[in-house]
Amino acid sequence: MTLRAALSSLLVPLFAMLAATLAAALLAASPASAAPSTDRFLVELRVIEGSGSAAGGAQTVDPKLARFAKDLRALPFKELKLVDSQTTSIREGERVSLEIPGLTKAGKKRFLQVAAHGRQAGGKLRFQLTIDALKFDTLVAVPNGGTIFVAAPKSGGPALLFAFTAKSR
């Protein structure tokens, strides 16, 4: 066997092994295999109490809700007041629980669970809102920076509404 043939028989497998190792390293470092980036959202929950019937007179809206007065005007309540407001940050795929003041049963606190599901194709932000104790569960799509209103199932006493605002961070 000539020296050239001997070197060739050693170098071909060595280069094949080097090429396979390099290809594996490149695949491991590619963006497709990197952890997907998750969106972060800032969410604000405003708990609003609606009471009385607006049929017989003018509606009174809490001054802290002034920016929503036009939206709230269509609701059948004589008085709407802000009970509580909470703001938190959440990532896509996470779930947070926000206490709902005034919504207790036998002294037991109730919570609104918010799960972030990311963005829809049109850019709206998707969240699941759940109150286990009331068997309340809904999926909502909120424009970035927008607010939606959701009524909690009535459980005696004044009605509770949620103004849910979300924006990406």
Separation between Cα atoms, residue 62 and residue 169, nearest integer Å: 29
Q: Are residues 150 and 104 part of one domain?
A: yes
Q: Are residues 132 and 52 part of one domain?
A: yes
Q: Are residues 92 and 59 part of one domain?
A: yes
Under 8 Å between Cβ of 92 and 42: no
**CA distances for 59 relative to 79, 103, 160, angstroms:** 6, 23, 16
| Phi and psi angles of residue 34, each rounded to the nearest 5 degrees, phi first | -70, 155
- The model's pLDDT over 73-125, given as tens digits with 9 standing for 90+, comes to 888 889 999 999 999 999 999 999 998 876 566 678 888 999 999 999 889 99
Q: Structure tokens of 133? A: 């104790």
Domain containing residue 25? 3-33
Q: What mean pLDDT do residues 42-58 have?
A: 85
Q: Are residues 73 and 28 part of one domain?
A: no
Q: How many domains would you assign to the chain?
A: 2
Residue predicted with more confidence, 2 or 120: 120
Q: Are residues 49 and 26 part of one domain?
A: no
Q: Are residues 90 and 164 part of one domain?
A: yes
Q: Are residues 22 and 96 part of one domain?
A: no
What pLDDT is attached to residue 73?
86
pTM to 2 decimal places: 0.71
Q: How high is the mean pLDDT of the chain?
A: 79
| Phi and psi angles of residue 11, each rounded to the nearest 5 degrees, phi first | -75, -35
Q: Are residues 23 and 104 part of one domain?
A: no
First to last CA, the chain: 69
Q: Are residues 146 and 100 part of one domain?
A: yes
